[in-house]
Amino acid sequence: MVDDPADEWFSCAVCGASAPGPPITWMFDNDRRRGGLWYCERCARDNVRAVEAKLDQDWW
């Protein structure tokens, strides 16, 4: 039996909010030290400058 990914729950790495998903409005970050991290919409918006700072110069 194949598990449905929509049955999986995701937790925000900052505030701990959880939602079934993966939620389309949430952001995923692949951190080199901590692995994959999910951020809820609110925390992603609150920390958008930090997110942009991680982008390679080629992005801009």
DSSP 3-state of 29: strand
The H or E element that residue 46 is part of is helix 41-46
Contact between residue 28 and residue 36 where contact means Cβ atoms under 8 Å apart = yes
When pLDDT is averaged across residues 48-58 and rounded to a whole number, the result is 74
Q: How high does pLDDT run on average in the chain?
A: 83
User: Alpha carbon 29 to chain centroid distance?
Assistant: 5
Name the band, by pLDDT with cuts 50, 70 and 90, for residue 51: confident
Sign of the dihedral defined by the CA atoms of residues 17, 21, 27, 31, in that order: positive
As a whole number of angstroms, the distance between CA 22 and CA 10 comes to 7
